[in-house]
Structures are given as structure tokens and as C-alpha cells.
Chain A
Amino acid sequence: MKSQALRPLLTALRRPADDRRVSDRQLLQYYLDQGDESAFAVLVGRHGPRVRAACRQVLADEADVDDAFQATFVVLLDKARSMYWRPALGGWLFGVAHRVALRARTRAAARHRHESRVVRPASRPDVDLSWREAVAVLHEELDRLPDPLRLPLLLCYLDGLSRDEAAQQLGWTPGTVKGRLERGRLRLRDRLARRGITLTTGLLAVLGNSGAACTVPPRLVQTTLQAVARRALPAPALAHGVPPIMWKNYTGLLAGLLLVALAVGGSHLLSHAGTVPAVSATGHLEERPRRTEPPPRDKPSAPESITVQGRVLGPDGKPRADVDVYLDRDTTASVAAARRAISGKDGRFSFRLDPTPFAKAPGRADSWRDARVVAVADGLGPAWATAGRATEGGLSLRLVSDLPLEGRILTLEGRPVAGARVRLRSLTAWASEAELSAHLRAVAAGDAPPRPFGFLGEVPGRSNEWKTDDQGRVRITGLGRDRLAGLEVTGPGIAHDTILAVTRAGKPVIGRPGPYWATIYPATFEHAAKPGRVLAGKAIDATTGRPIAGIFVQSAGAPPKTVTDAEGRYELAGLPKANKYILYVQPARGDVPYIAVRIDVTDTTGVGPLRADLRIPRGIPLRVQVKEPATGKLLRSGVSYVSYVPLYPNKNAPENLPGLMLGTKLEPDGSYRGAVLPGPGAICVMCSGGDYLPAAVNQKTFFRLDRVPRDEKILPASEVLWTAGPNSNPLPQRQFQVIELIDPSAGAKEVSLTLKPDPGKSATIRLQDADGHPLTGVRVWDWRRGEEWGPPLAAAGLKVSGLGPGRPRYLVFRHEGRKLAGTVIVRGEEAGTVTVALQPWGTATGRLVDTAGKPLPRHELRGRNAPTGRDRALTLPGAVRTDDEGKFRLDGLVPGGEYYLMASKYLPQVGEFIGVGHLADPVTVRPGETKDLGDVQVRRIGK
């Protein structure tokens, strides 16, 4: 029921391109009044990039950034009711984001991290760690400033607003902004000086550059909306008295709680950590993106093999036969592109897919969904879709007509470059020509461009490489029109370069300085290439001067790279001429015991070959074996990495170490080899298996230190490792499963270690049916491992390890053949075997309706957090979809438990399911009962 007054608002909301007409305040008010998530989604879309940028300033780990991002919007929601209104939200949100991110960071170091079992992607490698310390302190001190002084600094320096823009955002006069900027800067300078850091314009400028606006992945929008919608998170089984985690108010505890709570309840929030934007790319151009809903995921999928099927259409929309269909590798899986099918007369194709090679970690068995299915036909542009987003009818791949690129590569003297190699590195498509135009306009204006439809790395089955003729010309076909190609150009005498070109006629788009600074060429283009230099020489031992073979030499951040040969020689070609060349060198093999360093080579006049010999310090050979504690066998697939960290107060660390940690190489025999320095250090092992406790050592007592480099009250030696080097950056311990402190002497021949992670306590679970007979063939759902059910167990039970204080494990069981279900929570303190008797499961059916009684078709039902004190609350594993009439069926319900559920609906403009409300009453069943709940009403959130 929508009143007249709201109609203009709704109309505006339905046309996302015009959503600027609706003010932030209206959107927020609408969300509060109506509970319509789409309004909040627009807010997230509007301010998301800057909020994310603010979080990224402070937090290095992308998952932490996402958590803080969500927490910021939750703060907004909670404040929305009570706060006095600010004219524009952006500035305030930015300040909140910054503060939330900071709190999250300090808390992340100090708290239990439940999500240590999830493989965390490494911190962004581009952040120079020795710089990060200064930036970290800067952020801390910024945070300590009172808001009137802090906000203008954040907006002007971090967010890059002009004084007038900041004044507008904050609702102050420009004069006030100016005065407070000055005072804030002075105070900041004094505070930093007390901590030994000089506030230079360079320091502030780096902040401005490094944190500029980011895109917000659609998944993040969804999870944010869910976090906001739920206001409280699903808890694991409460059958044994673990209270659900809810937050009542947020204050400073928000971020920490959110982190914990997300980890505890939200496995689905953490899966699919943003690789390929998972959109159902139909590959053809339309006015509006037709994002169809993904299929229901309530069927537990066996990880044996999956059928991928669909239809290939021509640009005219008619089925196309004899078109090659490939499965392109996912960005992270190592599966090579291979042709899987040829479309038949009706355009249809079908092939089987083995998901095993795609599985990156426990809980990611479904990462095959991110792979792309690509149709490639001669004379046309390819079409592609993400495998996991097939609709009921399968994937629809519509080829597009082609528009070749005609390029010319010239030198800076206007001469053609013959024989230059042009290689396709990326192909980006938009849903419509209008969206591509919007992208080009955004780049020209220096704005954040809207997200594209999808992208491909290379076109499978093609060489993706072209060469210029003796006039420097090159003709590139087979990309499809109205797409953006990223091309890598290399050639004799020219520098490595990447150019962007659209398969569309027009003029070059020259962007503005900023995060999206790019030049985009039209289909016919000329490119002036800088001269390239050859850097060559030898890698030599810093002490003896002897050449070293097997050293990996790479120029910073870009190709080319190479390995020194048997005489220690290397050669890098195509380096763009610069004042200096930054090289990173490290051993290419485990048996080369040298320390990775960064070497800067000063430029000389001219563009001829530049000779530079690289002096590399030798280390003590290191050999590490990581073994399973129980069996003593090598722990192979469960290890993410093994690294060496020189620790305070080690004076042997060279000045030009590239980072805090040095890696090792995995040898075929399963051991890790590398090199260490004499003096204090640590070997850190990160295991992905997740069944181990986090490591805990004490550097102070081990090395008998009189003092540690920092304030122990904030970050004690039992929680962090103090690294070597001038800043003694702290490294949180909890992310590792094993830390071994070492102190080899200078003359040591080798450091050889066998390390075993600690499995903590374990619990043995015995599974039986209601009559007490042992039960085999049971499938287990472990909330930490993602949404998939495990395969049927051969034994009538299982052992669970990695349990420790504060690390309980919640499991759900089902036996499909006999329709039995059960659940348990184990903590490792159980005496003896834990017996779980599965009972006949219950089924609940019903029809989902809104408060007016209207059915809600194609909605999703999921578990949500229960109110306090409900001991019998259970979580529904995964989700269940209502059909076209709003009817649903919940199977496998454990009798006696209370299922608190929430409903989400599919929002096309976001491409995801967004929470719309709760079921008022929990669903309970008796053993074996099939219960018809009738019409089940969904109550709006916020009411």
C-alpha cells in the first residue's frame, strides 16, 4: 500500500539512473518507514565507494575491509532513527567508516578470530609495509581528534574534497572548514611528533592517493543489506546453552562484535569472497540488464560432477549451431581453458564438469560456479556466462557482431614500430551500449565508473596475440563490438605498455588524474610508445661476489621478469625509462639460500642497455616440514604457506627487505625450503585446514628481552610478534597455526624444523538412529565450511578436532535415505564419545505471504538469529526457495528445535537476494511430522 506522497519517490527509485533526484534523507526515511531494502541499497550504492575507500585506508585485509564496511552502514541505520539530520550523508559516513575500521583493526589483533579457519587472501601486496606503520599511527592519531577537527581532515585529505565541497558535506562555512583544518593539522602534527613521526605533506598526500574511491562488489552490497536487515545474526545451535550473539547497541564494540558475529553465524556471508562479479552474463546488449534469478540452492549438491548446459544464440537471437563452447578458468583455479562442447542444431550444448579441481579450500567446493562458460565463433564476438548462475533453462550465450580494432604503434619520433607484439589481457563487456557510454563518460570526468557486465581474461581457443606489420599497424578481430579490450604491448626498443581500446568508433577518452585515470582509445587508434630499456647484469653474493644462479628478478609491479642463468646472468627488456628502476629479487628455488631484497637501480643517460649487478645477502638454509600431529605424516594440502620473519632485536636484517615476511618454496618432497638470517626470527605457518588452534608464543620470554619496542598494554608480546627493522612492526600471531621462534648463530649450516600444528581438543561423535543402531551414510553440515553438505560418511561417526576454549563446533546431520536428522555442538571438553541420535526429520510446508496476505513467490527463506534465551533455536542450513505461488517446503528439520527464519527477495537492480522480513514465529516440528503451516506471514523489518 503506497500513499500518493510516496509515489514520486517510488518512481524515482525504480529508475536507478535517476536516483540522484532522491535525497539521502528521503531514502533513509523511506527505508525506515517502509522497510524497503531497495532504498537502503541505493544509499549503499551511492556512498559505498567512499566508505570502502575509508576502510581500505586503515585495514589491509580485504575481508576486514568488507566487515568494517558493513558495520558502518549498520551504524548508519541505528543512528538514523535517533540522530539529528545532516544535510549530506557522505562526510559523516566517511568519518564513521574510518573510526569503525580503526576499532576493527585494534580489535582484530586482540580478539579471538573465529574466521581463522577461512583462507584469508594475503594483504594487498602493493602496500609498502614500512610505510604502513607511519600511516597506521597517523590513522590512530586522526581517530583521537575530536570530530570538529577530525572530519575536515578526513574529507579534505583522505577523501580529496576541496574545502568548499567539505564545507557543503558538513554543513559548515568554508571559513570554518579552513580554520578547523588548520587547527586539526597543527594538533595532529604535535601528536605525531610525540610519537616520533613528522607530519609531512607527503604523508598526508599518500593517504589521499592510496585510499581513493573503490568499487563496491555486488556481494558486499548484499551482505551489507543482510547485516542491516537482520540487525542480529544467526547463532549456531543453542541446544547446549551457547547464547546467540546479538548486538543491542553498537558503540565502540560494534566492529568487534560484528566480526565475531559474522564469523559465528555467517558462513554464507564469507563465501565467494569477490572474484569474478557473479552476474548472469547473457552476452548480448539490451537496454536494461535482464538479471534472472539463480536457481534454488536447497538441493545439497553432490560434488561428483555437474552438468552445465545451455544454448548459443547468434546476434539476431536465433540459435546458432557448430559453435565451440569452452570452460574458461576461474581467476584462481588452475584449470586451463578447454573446449567442452559444440552447440547442436538447436544451439544447445551440454557437458559435465568435475568440480574437484576448482575447490580451493574446505567450504569452497562450489567455487566451480565462478568459472565462465564461453561461446566462441569465427567472425563474431564471444559470449560468456558464469557457470553457477544458470537459470532453469540453462545458460543463454548470445554472440555479438564483431568490430575490429585497427591500431598503429609509433615511437615518440612518430616512426612505426614493426613486429611489436599485442596481446589481449582482458575483455570487458557491458549490458548495453548506453552503459558503455556511461563508463566512458565517467572516465572522462574522473568519476567512479559503473560496474561492467562481466569480463574475460582471454578468448579461449584463440591465440589472443597479434603482431604489428612494418607500418606499425595491427588488426584485432574476434572481440565483439562495444567492448573494452586491455592489450599488452611489447616490442623491440619500446617499453612494456598496456593500452585500453573500445571496439567502437569515436575519439580517445583521456581521463582525469585520480583513481580511474586512464586513456581509452576508440577502435581506430594510434599509440605512441615510450622507448624501453634493457637492464642486464649478474646476481652476485653480497659477501663473496660470486654469481648466483636461480634468482628471480622482477621489476616492481610489472612485467618483465626473469631468472638468473647458470652464470648468474639476467636480462630484463622493455622497461620504461624512469629515474630509477625498482627490482625485487628472490630465490627462484628452495635450494638457493639467499634473502629476498629490493634493489633500486639509478638511471643513466640514453636508452641503451643498462648494466646493473645485484648484490644479494646470503642466508642460512632453512628446511621446514609440517606434519600432522596425530599421524606424523606430512601435512600437504592443508598448509597455505610457511614464512620466515626476522624479529626484534635482530640487527642482521638488511635495510632493503621488501616486506615483513620472507616466503619459502614448497619442494616436491613436501618440505619447505628457504633462507633465514642469523639472529632472532620466527617461522610462521598458516594452515588452511582449520582444524587447528591458533599459535601463541612469547618473544619477550623466549629471547629474554628486557624490553619490547612498543607499549605492551595495547599489544602484548603474547599476542603479536615484534618484527626486526627500524619500525618493529607488530605482526598479530593469531593468523598462524604454528610459530616457531629461532635464533641461529652466524655460522649455522642449516635450520631444519619439523612443525606440528596443535589440533586442540577433539570430540568423537557417534551417530545412531532413534533405536540406538549405528548409522552410516550420514551427511554432515559444518557451518564453518560453507553451504555445502559433506558426502555421506562411510563410518557411523566422525572425529572433530581443532576445538578449544571459545571455539565450539556446530554440526547438523541428515540421513537422506531414512529421512533422519540431528544436530550437536561440541567443545572438546566432552568426556568420552558424544552420541547423537538422529530422529525422523520433520517437514514443514506453507505459503509465504506478506502482511496483506499476498503470496511471496520466489523468495528465499534462511535462518536468522533468535531472540535471547531461546535455548532450542536452530539454524537452517542453507536456504529454501518459495515457488511461483509462494509455497515452500522445509525438509530435514531436527525435531524439537526452533527454527527462526527470515525471508529475502530477489532485487534485480542489485542482482542479489535482500532481506525483507522475519517469520514471526519459529518453526518447530515433532519427529517424523509433516506440518502444514498454512499461510506464514512475513513481518517487515523495523516494525
Chain B
Amino acid sequence: MNKTLQRKPARVEGPWAPYAPDDKAPWDLRRVVHLHRRGGFAATWAELQRDLKDGPKASLDRVLEGKARSEGVPENFEATARLLADAAAGSRDPARLKAWWVYRMLFGPDALTERLVLMWHNHFATSNLKVNDLSAMRRQNEIFREHARAPFAKLLNATVRDPALLLWLDAQVNRKGHPNENLGRELMELFTLGIGHYTEKDVKEAARALTGWTVVDEAFTDVPVRHDDGEKTILGRQGHWKGADLVKLLLEHPATANRLAFRLCELFMGEGTVDAAAVKALADGLRERDLDIGWAVGTMLRSRAFFAEANLGRRVVGPVEYVIGSARALELFEPPSSTLVLAEWMARLGQDLFYPPNVGGWPGGRTWLTTRALIGRANCAAALVDGARVGRPGPMDALALARRHGHGKDGADLITFCTKLLVGVEPSVAWRERLDKALGKEAAGADGARKAVALVLAMPEAQLA
């Protein structure tokens, strides 16, 4: 997809040294599941087995090239996706736009890019509640997709001129003599430097630099007469800074690389698995390479740190990942669940696409796991399995799924299958006991299989990946 992937990452030692399988970190099913759950939205059993066989290099190459999905991707995916997006943008119906993105995440070939788009949606959190323009939200989403792994300058410059963001942060009322600080502040605080690396004065001056940037006829326009072209001092630098200059200043500031490194670690690394030195090394690497996100993504996914034992099962699965990942792993392709309803479930679980709670995005991590949300996830799992509440005509045949993949001859085998598929581990004795108790004696039949799937999905361990 972009050239940075073909280039072999420069030999990075230290925290992000590349992974090679060994005794402490063998290339096992667990790691394959882990790769797909962090670098995608979970994989089907066949895909897992394939990657297990082919080894890490081939598997990573596939993931990074957007070719990891071997099934469930319709032939005319892009054409259909475009049709759905156009229909959504031309309608008054946010549900359609959400359904479109779910379609992309669930049926598209490149899950890693969609994960990054989700990350950028969170990073540049813009809510349609205020923007109220589906066409603009769609365009913003496409900007995230296009520049997901580009050098950050490309993404930042495109995003900061994106009408949805400008409307969201009141750019159109920011003018000479009447500065509005929203855009400038969030640009510094959230999108680039992060808190503590600028002063209030910097924010004011940044607002002045951004005057003139507005939206006219749904397109970005720079209106010179509104621009305050006086001298400004931003981050210690003096000049008649305009918006483009401000962006350049921010990109050059070392704090930006740190913040990006933080974001990427938030995406790919588990809680407490990355120390300050590792983040710094990543940030340094970014700084040396024009903030090339693609390089960082490749480096991280191929790293030893990524596949270290400490990093496995240490990250909370967010609602979107949970819903899409479950649907994918369970091969709910034909008949498909309703993308509209899946989006609805995500919202219920706390992540409403295109409607982040505020400009800070979704805090993520443990905040996903409220009691209510956990109950919601159990309900969602049950709904996915039984089909009726996600728009499928009937329940999934979990037994057939297991059998198709060589498991399911009895209750114990079924549990093994579900656990390996959905959590990536060999079920422990304690685990089996819990499940046996919950399943009772119906473990072996079709109903039992369904129940097993729903149970596994609802287990606390399944909320981590």
C-alpha cells in the first residue's frame, strides 16, 4: 500500500529489536491470534492455521500489506463500499455512515489500516453531533484512511484543513481581532505536542496564526482578509506565522514525536508493557524519519517487544474490536449480520462511531470495562450467536464451525476450539471447570456449542487481547 512497507526497517536494536521465534517466545497459536487481534480485528481459524504454518515473517508481511484476510472479503468490496458511503453521505442518516465503516472493517481486506483509521478517529476526535454533516464526516474518515501510515505531516496537514474538523473546532469564527482558541489549543494539546509543552500564550498566538482558515461551501478556504498577519511568537519562535507555518512548527517540535509514539503504543502495546525508554526510542526513530507512521507500525509489529510474553493478553479490547473481531472469528459472513445493528451494539458498549464523547476521544483501556459494559458484552455475544438480534435470519451453527475445523467431537473438544479461536490459549483446567459448570450437560450438541461460544466471548479473559 505504501512504499515504506517495502523498505526493510533500519536495523533497530534496543527496545524495538525485531522478533525472532525462540523458546521464550515461540511462534505459536497464541502469538498468531495476538498478531491478528492487535494488528487487525481477529482472524478466522483457517487464517490462524495458515499463519501458524507460514511463520512470522510471511504472516507479518501479509498483515502489513493488507492481505491477511483469506476469506470473507467480497469480490467487489471497494465498489460496494463506495456505494454504501455515497448513499450514507447523501442521506440524513448517521446510522448509514456507521454501517458503512462497519462494512469496511468487517469485510475489507486490510484490517490493519482500519485499525489505524480507528486510532486516528480517536486521535483527531470529531463528533458529528456538532458537525452535523455526514458528507464531511465521510471525507474525514477517508483522509484518515489515505494517510493512515504516511509521514505524519501529510496526515496532519490534510486533517487540519478538513471541513469536519474545522467546523468541530469553530475555525470559522476564528478571525482577526476575534480569535477563537479551540482549534489552536486542540492542535497543540491533543493532535501534536500534548499537555505541558506549550503555554497559554502559545495557544493564543497559535489561534492568531490560524485566523482566516474557514469552511465555505463545504470546502476549506483560506480567507486573507480574516487573517491576523501580525507578528507572533509561538514556542519561542518569532515570525508572521500563518496556519501552514504553525503546522510546520508543531511537526518540528520534539514533543510531537513523543505523543505519536504514545498513541501507537496505546494501539499496539498492552497496559504497562512499554517503559519510558521504549517510548523514547520509538519517538527518536520517528523523529529521524519524518514522523513516518508506517515505519513505526512496521517496526512495532515486527518487534520482539510486541511478541514478548509480557505483551500478550494485556490490552483491553475496545467495543469496535470486540464486535468486529467476534463476528470475524466466528465467520459470520453468510448470511451477514446487519452492519447497522453491529454499529448499534458498539454504541451500546460505549463506542459510537463518528460520535466520540468529546475532542479527547475515548479514553479506552480499563474505562471500557464498566459493569454495565461487561453485561452489554455478554448480551452482544449472545446476540451474535443467536442471530436474531443482529439481523441474521437464524442462529449460527457453532458445532458445524468447530467440526469444519476438525474439532467439536465432544464437549471438551468444543471448549478447546472456542478458547483457542477466541482467546488464543489452550484452556486450563480451571477454565474448563468454569465453562463446564456454566454449560451443564448440553455441551456436546448444537445448542451447547452456541452456548459455549457465547460464554467464552463473555469471559473476562476474552475482553483482553
Q: Are A607 and B86 in contact (CB under 8 A)?
A: no
Known: A412-B103, A605-B348; 18 extra A-B contacts, CB below 8 A, are A410-B80, A412-B100, A412-B340, A413-B107, A414-B74, A414-B103, A415-B336, A510-B89, A510-B90, A519-B91, A528-B87, A530-B93, A530-B96, A530-B340, A605-B344, A606-B388, A607-B341, A608-B389
Question: Once bound together, how far apart are the Cα atoms of A286 and B335, in whole Å?
Answer: 50
Q: Are B383 and A606 in contact (CB under 8 A)?
A: yes
**Chain B residues in contact with chain A, CB under 8 A?**
74, 76-77, 80, 83-84, 86-87, 89-93, 95-96, 99-100, 103, 107, 133, 218, 335-341, 344-345, 348, 383, 388-391
Q: Are B90 and A607 in contact (CB under 8 A)?
A: no
Q: Are A412 and B93 in contact (CB under 8 A)?
A: no
Q: Are B336 and A413 in contact (CB under 8 A)?
A: yes
Is A577's CB within 8 Å of the partner chain B?
yes
Q: Are B336 and A531 in contact (CB under 8 A)?
A: no
Q: List 17 A-B contacts (CB under 8 A).
A: A412-B96, A412-B339, A412-B340, A413-B336, A413-B337, A414-B107, A415-B335, A510-B90, A511-B90, A512-B218, A527-B87, A530-B93, A577-B340, A606-B383, A606-B389, A608-B388, A608-B391
Question: Once bound together, how far apart are the Cα atoms of A128 and B337, in whole Å?
Answer: 38
Chain B residues near A406 (CB, 8 Å)?
none
Chain A residues near B95 (CB, 8 Å)?
530, 577
Is A526's CB within 8 Å of the partner chain B?
yes
Question: Once bound together, how far apart are the Cα atoms of A413 and B102, in whole Å?
Answer: 9
Question: Once bound together, how far apart are the Cα atoms of A606 and B84, in whole Å?
Answer: 20
Chain B residues near A527 (CB, 8 Å)?
87
Chain B residues near A606 (CB, 8 Å)?
338, 341, 344, 383, 388-391
Chain B residues near A607 (CB, 8 Å)?
338, 340-341, 391
Chain B residues near A512 (CB, 8 Å)?
218
Closest CB-CB distance, A165 to chain B, in whole Å? 11
**A608 nearest CB neighbor, chain B only:** B388
Q: Which of A412, A414, A577, A608 has the most CB of B within 10 A?
A: A412
Q: Which of B74, B77, B335, B391 has the most CB of A within 10 A?
A: B391
Is A508's CB within 8 Å of the partner chain B?
yes
Chain B residues near A519 (CB, 8 Å)?
87, 90-91
**A518 nearest CB neighbor, chain B only:** B90
Q: Are A526 and B83 in contact (CB under 8 A)?
A: yes
Question: Once bound together, how far apart are the Cα atoms of A787 and B153, in whole Å?
Answer: 75
Question: Once bound together, how far apart are the Cα atoms of A607 and B345, in whole Å?
Answer: 12
Q: Are B340 and A605 in contact (CB under 8 A)?
A: no
Contacting residue for B84 out of A508, A513, A528, A608, CB 8 A:
A528
Contacting residue for B99 out of A412, A415, A511, CB 8 A:
A412
**A609 nearest CB neighbor, chain B only:** B388
Which residues 218-245 in A have Cβ within 8 Å of B in the complex? Answer: none
Question: Once bound together, how far apart are the Cα atoms of A517 and B93, in whole Å?
Answer: 13
Closest CB-CB distance, A514 to chain B, in whole Å? 11
Q: Are B391 and A531 in contact (CB under 8 A)?
A: yes
Closest CB-CB distance, B324 to chain A, in whole Å? 13
Closest CB-CB distance, A413 to chain B, in whole Å? 4
The 5 closest A-B pairs by CB, nearest first: A606-B389, A414-B80, A413-B336, A510-B90, A519-B90
Which residues 315-371 in A have Cβ within 8 Å of B in the complex? Answer: none
Chain A residues near B218 (CB, 8 Å)?
512
Chain A residues near B344 (CB, 8 Å)?
605-606
Question: Once bound together, how far apart are the Cα atoms of A510 and B91, in whole Å?
Answer: 9
Which residues 488-530 in A have Cβ within 8 Å of B in the complex? Answer: 508, 510-513, 517, 519, 526-528, 530
Question: Once bound together, how far apart are the Cα atoms of A151 and B93, in whole Å?
Answer: 34
**A533 nearest CB neighbor, chain B only:** B391
**A445 nearest CB neighbor, chain B only:** B217
Chain A residues near B80 (CB, 8 Å)?
410, 414
Closest CB-CB distance, A767 to chain B, in whole Å? 63
Closest CB-CB distance, A611 to chain B, in whole Å? 13
Q: Are B341 and A414 in contact (CB under 8 A)?
A: no
Q: Are A412 and B90 in contact (CB under 8 A)?
A: no
Closest CB-CB distance, B105 to chain A, in whole Å? 12
Per-residue CB contact flags for chain A residues 46-73 toward chain B (1 = under 8 Å, else 0) read: 0000000000000000000000000000
Question: Once bound together, how far apart are the Cα atoms of A705 and B76, in whole Å?
Answer: 72
Question: Once bound together, how far apart are the Cα atoms of A531 and B342, in whole Å?
Answer: 12
Contacting residue for B83 out of A410, A415, A511, A577, CB 8 A:
A410
Closest CB-CB distance, A857 to chain B, in whole Å? 49
Q: Are B348 and A412 in contact (CB under 8 A)?
A: no
Contacting residue for B339 out of A413, A605, A608, CB 8 A:
A413
Q: Are B383 and A531 in contact (CB under 8 A)?
A: no
Q: Are A605 and B87 in contact (CB under 8 A)?
A: no
Closest CB-CB distance, A9 to chain B, in whole Å? 32
Chain A residues near B100 (CB, 8 Å)?
412
Q: Are A413 and B338 in contact (CB under 8 A)?
A: yes
Chain A residues near B337 (CB, 8 Å)?
413
Question: Once bound together, how far apart are the Cα atoms of A577 and B345, in whole Å?
Answer: 14
Closest CB-CB distance, A431 to chain B, in whole Å? 28
Closest CB-CB distance, A364 to chain B, in whole Å? 39
**A579 nearest CB neighbor, chain B only:** B95
Question: Once bound together, how far apart are the Cα atoms of A218 and B159, in whole Å?
Answer: 48
Chain B residues near A605 (CB, 8 Å)?
341, 344-345, 348, 383, 389
**B388 nearest CB neighbor, chain A only:** A608
Closest CB-CB distance, B250 to chain A, in whole Å? 31
Question: Once bound together, how far apart are the Cα atoms of A579 and B340, in whole Å?
Answer: 13
Closest CB-CB distance, A657 to chain B, in whole Å? 28
Per-residue CB contact flags for chain A residues 415-427 toward chain B (1 = under 8 Å, else 0) read: 1000000000000
Per-residue CB contact flags for chain A residues 582-626 toward chain B (1 = under 8 Å, else 0) read: 000000000000000000000001111000000000000000000
Question: Once bound together, how far apart are the Cα atoms of A52 and B228, in whole Å?
Answer: 42
Chain A residues near B107 (CB, 8 Å)?
413-414
Chain A residues near B388 (CB, 8 Å)?
606, 608
Question: Once bound together, how far apart are the Cα atoms of A413 and B339, in whole Å?
Answer: 7
Question: Once bound together, how far apart are the Cα atoms of A531 and B89, in whole Å?
Answer: 17
Question: Once bound together, how far apart are the Cα atoms of A528 and B339, in whole Å?
Answer: 12
Chain A residues near B341 (CB, 8 Å)?
531, 605-607
Q: Are A414 and B84 in contact (CB under 8 A)?
A: yes
Question: Once bound together, how far apart are the Cα atoms of A606 and B92, in whole Å?
Answer: 20
Q: Are B383 and A412 in contact (CB under 8 A)?
A: no
Chain A residues near B390 (CB, 8 Å)?
606
Closest CB-CB distance, A577 to chain B, in whole Å? 6
Question: Once bound together, how far apart are the Cα atoms of A608 and B93, in whole Å?
Answer: 20
Q: Are A413 and B86 in contact (CB under 8 A)?
A: no
Chain A residues near B335 (CB, 8 Å)?
415
Question: Once bound together, how far apart are the Cα atoms of A413 and B391, in whole Å?
Answer: 11
Which residues 515-560 in A have Cβ within 8 Å of B in the complex? Answer: 517, 519, 526-528, 530-531
Chain B residues near A530 (CB, 8 Å)?
93, 95-96, 340
Q: Are A412 and B84 in contact (CB under 8 A)?
A: yes
Contacting residue for A528 out of B83, B92, B133, B338, CB 8 A:
B83
Given contacts A605-B345, A606-B388, A607-B391, contact A531 B338 (CB under 8 A): yes
Chain A residues near B86 (CB, 8 Å)?
508, 510
Chain B residues near A526 (CB, 8 Å)?
83
Closest CB-CB distance, B173 to chain A, in whole Å? 10
**A415 nearest CB neighbor, chain B only:** B336
Given contacts A519-B87, A605-B344, contact A413 B103 (CB under 8 A): yes
Question: Once bound together, how far apart are the Cα atoms of A410 and B79, in whole Å?
Answer: 12
Question: Once bound together, how far apart are the Cα atoms of A607 and B338, in whole Å?
Answer: 8
Chain B residues near A413 (CB, 8 Å)?
103, 107, 336-339
Chain A residues near B340 (CB, 8 Å)?
412, 530-531, 577, 607
Closest CB-CB distance, A943 to chain B, in whole Å? 46
Q: Which of A413, A512, A528 has the most CB of B within 10 A?
A: A413
Closest CB-CB distance, B92 to chain A, in whole Å? 8
**B133 nearest CB neighbor, chain A only:** A513
Question: Once bound together, how far apart are the Cα atoms of A606 and B387, in whole Å?
Answer: 10
Q: Which of A517, A527, A607 has the most CB of B within 10 A?
A: A607
Question: Once bound together, how far apart are the Cα atoms of A692 and B412, in whole Å?
Answer: 88
Question: Once bound together, how far apart are the Cα atoms of A526 and B79, in whole Å?
Answer: 10
Question: Once bound together, how far apart are the Cα atoms of A527 and B84, in whole Å?
Answer: 9
Closest CB-CB distance, B346 to chain A, in whole Å? 11
Question: Once bound together, how far apart are the Cα atoms of A577 and B341, in whole Å?
Answer: 10
